[in-house]
Amino acid sequence: MKIKLLYSLILIFLFTSSFKKENRIEPGQSKAQNLNISFLLDLSDRIDPKKNPDFYQRDLQYIKSVEKAFINHIKEKKILLLDDQMQVFFDPIPKMQGIDNLSQQLKVNFNKSISKKDIQNVDRNFSEIPSKIYQNSIKSGHYAGSDIWKFFKNNVQNYCIKEKYRNILVILTDGYMFHEKSIVLKGGKSSYITPAFIQTKKLTSANYLTTIKKNNLGFIPFEHNLKDLEIIVLGINPSEKNPYEEDVIKQYWSDWFKAMNVKKFYLQTTDLPSFLDPVIQKIIKG
């Protein structure tokens, strides 16, 4: 009886050890994560072709690069493990007929019932609908702008972060931040940064960082703990009049994200979409 019991225990041990070995994640490997990707689009006059001839086209290609990375992620996962999402946000909402319907079509939720047609629909929607939204702003000449600061204040936690997901927020903007309904100053901190503001604060020389620290300059942060959020800022376009403009802009964003405990962030200066595509793919692949 004792021999049989000992034999059974040995078999259980060997089976358990084998199971653990087969399911062990080796260094360099990662579990299939559920993606929750959000876009925040800056529909200010930065997309005006008269001001920046090809910038809205760059935005559209950046969006496609992110969508491509999302679809590649879907294709690499087992169907039973699919639980991935993607959506697009604006703040403020552009004045466009049917914008809610278009926004709904840009809301993606893939699960195990996904079909090949669903993937094709996403690819088509993310090719056609963002273009319609941008073209509407350009043709009407009414640029809604982008209140990024207020979006973080009111919505980023509720809209962009979900438990048990890898949460990524992609912000398409030129790096400047300003909206007429969100002009706030608090000591040296502000809710905005513009080329004129940078000039006023004398952030135009090599000692810009010393000036920032001395005067406690930067964006006003919120008491958020964004430890479960990664952020990609695409399209930073600093004024060429100041050789330190890009450094100042990135310092403001970096300090802001760090103050809110953002998990990871990437600040990408505008460039040809073909150059940035592999960068975007690598970031989202993780």
The string of pLDDT tens digits covering residues 80-133 is: 999 999 999 999 999 999 999 999 999 999 999 999 899 999 999 999 999 999
Tokens encoding 123: 């690819």
Lowest-confidence pick of 27-36, 66-75, 265-274: 27-36
pTM above 0.85, yes or no: yes
Count of Cβ atoms closer than 10 Å to residue 129 Cβ: 17
Higher pLDDT, 146 or 5: 146
End-to-end CA distance of the chain: 54
pLDDT recorded at residue 142: 86
pLDDT recorded at residue 3: 53
pLDDT recorded at residue 101: 97
Mean pLDDT score of the chain: 90
Average pLDDT (200-212) is 97
pLDDT recorded at residue 145: 85
pLDDT recorded at residue 126: 97
How far apart CA 41 and CA 169 sit, in angstroms, is 11
**pLDDT of 15 higher than 60:** no
How far apart CA 166 and CA 239 sit, in angstroms, is 34
- Domains, the chain, with CATH or none: 33-285 (3.40.50)
**pLDDT of 16 higher than 50:** no
Lowest-confidence pick of 74-83, 169-178, 236-245: 74-83
Average pLDDT (135-146) is 91
Average pLDDT (154-175) is 97
How far apart CA 281 and CA 286 sit, in angstroms, is 9
Q: Three-class SS of residue 29? A: coil
**pLDDT of 13 higher than 90:** no
**pLDDT of 1 higher than 80:** no
Average pLDDT (33-46) is 96
How far apart CA 152 and CA 231 sit, in angstroms, is 12
Count of Cβ atoms closer than 10 Å to residue 142 Cβ: 14
pLDDT recorded at residue 29: 36
pLDDT recorded at residue 20: 38
pLDDT recorded at residue 31: 55
